[in-house]
Amino acid sequence: MSLWKKEKETPPPVSEAMTDSQEVGTAADVDEVMKKFDRESNVRVWEGTPKWIVKALMIAFSLFCMYLTLFDKNQAEFRLCTFLGGIIIIGYLNFPIKKGMVKVNSLPWYDIIIMIAGCIPFFYFAFNAEKIALTDYTIVSNDFMLLGFAVIGILAMVELCRRSVGLPILCVVGVLLLYTLFGAQIRVGKVLFDLFYTTSGIIGTPISACQKFIVMFIIFGAFLERTGISNFFISLANCVAGSSSGGPAKVAVISSALCGMVSGSSVGNTVTTGSVTIPMMKKTGYKGEFAGAVEAAASTGGQIMPPIMGAAAFIMAETTGLPYQKIVVLAILPAFLYFVGIFIAVHLEAKKLGLKGIPKSELPKFKELAPKLYLLLPLIILVWLVSTGKNTMAYSAALAIIISIIVGIVNIFVNKACGFEDTSDNISFMKVLDALEAGGKGTISVAAACSMAGIVAGCVTSTGLASDLLRAILSVSGGVKIVALFLTMLCCIVLGMGVPTTANYCIMAATCAPILMSDQIGIPMICAHFFVFYFGIVADITPPVALAAYAGSAIAKSPPMKTAFNATKLAIAAFVVPYIFALNPAMLFQFAEGTSMAMKVVQSVLIVVTSLAGLYGVAAALNGYLYKPMNPLFRVLIAAGGLCMMIPGNLTDVIGVVVVVGIVVLQRMSAKKSAAA
């Protein structure tokens, strides 16, 4: 069954999808739903002069972050504390105390007090970093001013995290703090000293990665969006897949994969590309909950799409100590399988509903898009700069930002020379300011979550909780690797609910990855990090806190939970592929010592082929259609066969091939007989 070939012109069957309303959500609908479910969307409303003042502060903060990253040579404590002090200020200027507070130009007195009181401890620490670094914790624990500053600073950041990210991560932090104080019985003064005045707490590795890398890539993504690259990706995807069966859904998969790797936000990407692709899908005949789910699943997958991976590739390189270029290569096969899995599900749904593609006359031609291939230059140059290893990742991102501005200027002249009527992607001075503002605003929730991740890591380190968790998982799992992986998966999904992608990975790397890497479980380091990264990300489409799916449902005008369950079903590869590379590291090009190059190639090809066939079987089972509707017995059998092919081992592969191929042949023959009759 071809994924690309157009069907013969036969009348499509009447289906629910055909009668499903083609109405889609307006910007106001999307805003309303996102304010209900997504903390990042609940921001204050500024107008007039206050709006420009806040905008100026956000722009100044972005420029300050770029200065800190590129030029500042002060010690880490100074850089990180001034960064967090700035986050406190712009954070409380943007996020109200609770949802629904939309009074224009309102900043309550208590928020002013919290904002000022919250930033003072960080700035005090920044300008006294050298002195405090030489002070023993016993002295700090007897200094009520320093202890007070630590308490106020931590509480201010906790409250900002509650406002901008949500409660799930704070529940984890709260439990760990209680365990640290009462379970491990560590003195309050020692805890405050470690969590606030050392680089093992709130200004630990996660916030360091945020300040050094994440901010730059958030700003870079904001600039790219304003050069028209999102529209270019959508047009390119239309050119490639728009005319095939159910083409708009395939366009959504391709364009969201490309846009998502840059944006670094599952929710943001769902809203950006979904505003174009979801109406197209509904117009073709897909039901609203399916259209929203396709966009959400594909947008979430953008975070695992090399070479950018929503900036996670750079964080993973920093965390694991592996070169960036190696991380990108290792990510290729899992990402390929993820998107092929969604593609197969979309194709089967299109066949089941008898959907056609978009007429070729309505699609852009490649020769029309070719003149704008230069829009890819910032991405290409960024990857090249980082891959050569001659420049730091932050410097490479800064240079890519400059290139994106130059590309935007070139775009103005190209649009004029080629006579393009749509000039919405032309760069301007105001768009540059908007990008800097968006960069500052996008940093708030990530930085707040990263600071909490630092507290989590600090508590785990100081209490030795990692070994306790390991013992608990080993006790429950009985040392069985697959059970340990399943329990870790549950932890990752719960800890990842509602947390920004990059901060999410920081938390997973600090809490869950070390457990898998232990001698008792024995997952290789890079496989463990990819495992927790994948399952932290799919929290965005896994009920009950499926933010990307809720964003898709707002545009599709569909029930949020139905959309979330559909997205989970579509992204089944994301729940299976991590187990494959955890149990068979060959998917991540991790081979036994002494393996010849020929055997490495053979193993890699085999694991991809069997995994693809397995995904095809599982997708067909979940969809219930393969040339014709499948009966329940066949669905169970083909799902079992598909899973067998994804389990390492020759016997399971043979069983899986026999079952899946057998059912495919039977379904094909039965469909031909039905057509002939």
Q: Are 514 and 521 in contact (CB under 8 A)?
A: no
For residues 541 and 266, give the distance between their C-alpha atoms in angstroms, rounded to a whole number.
Answer: 9
Q: Are 146 and 197 in contact (CB under 8 A)?
A: yes
For residues 30 and 33, give the distance between their C-alpha atoms in angstroms, rounded to a whole number.
Answer: 5
CB within 8 A of 412, min separation 6: which ones? 423, 426, 427
Which helix (H) or strand (E) is 229 found in, with range?
helix 229-241
Instruction: Compute the radius of gyration of the chain from its Cα atoms.
Output: 26
- Least Cα distance to 247 among 350, 368, 344, 361 occurs for 350
pLDDT (0 to 100) of residue 123: 96
- Return the structure tokens found at 365: 């031609």
For residues 431 and 226, give the distance between their C-alpha atoms in angstroms, rounded to a whole number.
Answer: 7
pLDDT (0 to 100) of residue 78: 92
> Which of helix, strand or coil describes residue 500?
coil
pLDDT (0 to 100) of residue 34: 62
For residues 212 and 458, give the distance between their C-alpha atoms in angstroms, rounded to a whole number.
Answer: 20
> Which of helix, strand or coil describes residue 626?
strand
Phi and psi torsions of 83, nearest 5°:
-60, -50
For residues 327 and 386, give the distance between their C-alpha atoms in angstroms, rounded to a whole number.
Answer: 12
pLDDT (0 to 100) of residue 40: 63
Dihedral (CA of 643, 646, 649, 655) sign: positive
What pairs with residue 444 in β-bridges?
A: none
For residues 655 and 376, give the distance between their C-alpha atoms in angstroms, rounded to a whole number.
Answer: 45
Q: What distance lies between CA 104 and its chain's CA centroid?
A: 32
Q: Are 397 and 212 in contact (CB under 8 A)?
A: no
For residues 123 and 102, give the distance between their C-alpha atoms in angstroms, rounded to a whole number.
Answer: 30
| CA end-to-end span of the chain | 21
pLDDT (0 to 100) of residue 36: 61
For residues 533 and 537, give the distance between their C-alpha atoms in angstroms, rounded to a whole number.
Answer: 6
For residues 128 and 145, give the distance between their C-alpha atoms in angstroms, rounded to a whole number.
Answer: 13
pLDDT-flagged residues of the chain (< 70): 1-41, 100, 263-264, 310-311, 389, 420-425, 677
Dihedral (CA of 335, 397, 318, 446) sign: negative
Q: Are 563 and 556 in contact (CB under 8 A)?
A: yes
Amino acid at 444: I
Written as one string, the DSSP assignment of 393-416 is HHHHHHHHHHHHHHHHHHHHHHHH
How far are the Cα atoms of 80, 276, 439, 462, 606 from residue 86, in angstroms, in the given order? 10, 36, 13, 28, 51
Which helix (H) or strand (E) is 145 found in, with range?
helix 144-164
- Return the structure tokens found at 103: 């009074």
**Token pair 């629904």 is at which residue?**
100
Q: Strands, DSSP E only, in 518-661?
A: 625-626, 628-629
Q: Are 547 and 16 in contact (CB under 8 A)?
A: no
- Return the structure tokens found at 409: 């200027």
Note if the pTM is more than 0.75: yes
- Return the structure tokens found at 115: 């904002």
